[in-house]
Structure formats: C-alpha cells, structure tokens
Amino acid sequence: MTQPTSLLRHQVARSALLRQRPGQVIAAVVLSMIVLAAIVPGLFTDGLPYEADPLATLQPPSLTHPFGTDANGRDVFTRVVYGARHSLLAGLGAVALAVTVGTLLGLIAGLGGRIADEIIMRLVDVTMSLPNLLLAMLVLTLAGPGALNSIYAIAIYIAPGYARLVRVQTMVIRRSEYVQAATALGLRRARVVLAHIVPNAFVPLLVLATIEVGTALVAAASLSFLGLGARPPAPEWGAMLAAGRDYFSVAWWTAVFPGLAITFTVLAITVVGGALQRRLEGLDGPEGGN
C-alpha cells in the first residue's frame, strides 16, 4: 500500500491537481494500477491464476488469501489481478475495432458522395435499431462463444454510433473556413482530407471512445457472465462473477471482488475520460470567441 501514496505525492508535487480535483487524481492512480496489473500481474501477486489448492476451497478473506479462495481453492485476489488483462483487452479491443470501422464508414459516408452515404447510413440505422446486447448475443450465437468473438460482437454494435459521429463531423469540417482556406492555398485534395478533415473529425470520437472503453468492458463481462464470452477457467471478471454466483450465499467473496474490480475499473475509466474531454474542450474553448 505504499505505492499509491508515493504516486499521489508525485502528482501533488507536479501540480495542485489533488487539491483541486481529488477525484480525478484518485481515478488516475486506480487506473494506472489496473493497467500495471494487466501488464505485469506478477508485481501484485506471487500466485498463479490456475493454481488450485484442493484443501483450501471457499476460504474467507484472510492474510494469506486477502480476497479468499473459490470453489476450486484458487486464490481470488490472484485471479482478479490476472483478470485485469482479460477485461482491459476486451474493452480496449472492442473499442479500438469499433473506432477503426466507425471512422472508415463515417469518412466514406461523409466524403464519398450521396450513394455511399445512403447505403452506409441505412445500414447504420438498421444496426442501431437493434438492442445492443441482443445484437451481440445474435453474433455470438452465429460465430460461437469465445473471448475474441465477444470483442467482435461488441464492436459491431458500438461502431455504427461512431460512424454517425464521424460523418457529421466530416460534413461540418468540410465546410469549415480552415478547409476552404487550405483548398484556396492550393493543397491537394488528398492532403486536405488527410491533414485537416480526418484528424479534426477524429478528436471528438477519441474522447467519446475513451469513456466507452468502460462500457465495452462491462459488456464483455456481461457476455462472459451469460457464458457467451471468455469461458471458465479463464480468470475473466465476468466469468468469475458467474461462477461465484452459485456460492454467493456461502462464499460472498467469490462474486463480490470480481464485481468490485469491474465497478472500480469502469468508474476510473469514466472519470479519467471525462477529465480528458474537459481538458480538450477547454483547449478548444477560445476558438469560439475572438
């Protein structure tokens, strides 16, 4: 527990952020710990996620097992730490895929002429009219359950919203004075699109996407919970939650700690993403006036 304190000190030394926005600093610290756990889980625990001790099943939290053990005698803390990688990858992967596909579709719709616009946007309308989780379950039923397939399934329902956003941004920016100025300057069309339209259409999406990593993470956990995503014995938080459900009345810790992990991760991502958004908007602020 010395690590978060020293990180906090570092933050305070760099700026007065802690005093002004303590929530953001705590969220940033929590998030960096989770990311660290995803990259080097060995830093936080000596155990291994599949290591079972048949003699110590369903042990309550103690000094040797801070989060207790599950029905197979595996250390819940170790599994939660190792689960960070699964959950973060699922959230990041789904959003990254959705951003890529959504941006491409949005750009084609915004710049590619009326026919392309009509086709893409009607497809987007159809996809967005279906309930999210239902669409994901449909995809997973067709493609078969699994961690990777659940990433595709989530991306498929996030991407259309991104496509819409990018399309609108593209159309606004295409008519903006700085794009006209760039054209009047004598730049090639390709450069105007790549250097001015695409990056400026992308910035608001990036901010939205940061926050949506949390949502995608919950979706991935939900799919695992339903048995459609990552399968046991993988230390995935949703799958652990599902497994812990059966023992909830006798061993609450098997479900509560993976659940808390999901909650804190999503909360941290949302707070940090929101701060990022405000900062970017603050930077854009003075443009509106003179």
Among 51, 180, 232, 279, the residue binding other proteins under the rule CB under 8 A is: 180
Contact between 199 and other proteins by CB under 8 A: the answer reads: yes
CB of 199 to other proteins, least distance (A): 6
Q: 39, 280 in Cβ contact below 8 A?
A: no
| Residue 54 or 286 having the CB closest to other proteins | 286
Q: Least Å distance between CB 165 and other proteins? A: 18
Distance of alpha carbon 118 from alpha carbon 124, whole angstroms: 10
Burial grade of 117 (CB within 10 A; 0-12, 13-18, 19 or more): middle
User: In the numeric block, which tokens belong to residue 86?
Assistant: 């699964």
Closest CB to other proteins among residues 129, 290: 290
Vertex 141, ends 138 and 145: CA angle to 5°?
120
In angstroms, what is the minimal distance from the CB of 280 to other proteins? 11
Interface with other proteins includes 281 (CB under 8 A)? no
Q: Report the residue from 142, 185, 190, 282 that binds other proteins according to the rule CB under 8 A.
A: 185
In the complex, what is the shortest distance from the CB of residue 16 to other proteins, in angstroms, rounded to a whole number?
Answer: 18
Considering CB under 8 A, how many residues would be counted as binding other proteins? Answer: 21
* Cα(253)–Cα(234) distance, integer angstroms: 18
Q: How far apart are the first and last CA of the chain?
A: 49
Q: Strand pairing partners for 69? A: 75
Q: How far is the CB of 105 from other proteins (least distance, A)?
A: 23
Q: How many CA atoms lie within 13 A of 56 on its CB side?
A: 14
Told to check if 182 binds other proteins by CB under 8 A, we report: yes
Q: Which is nearer to other proteins, 45 or 200 (CB)?
A: 200
> Which of the stretches 33-41, 42-50, 129-137, 186-194 binds other proteins when contact is defined by CB under 8 A?
186-194
The SS3 call for residue 253 is: helix
Min. distance of Cβ 14 from other proteins in angstroms? 22
The SS3 assignment for 232 reads coil
d(CA 62, CA 85): 25
Residue ranges in contact with other proteins by CB under 8 A = 176-178, 180-188, 195-196, 199-200, 203, 284, 286-287, 290
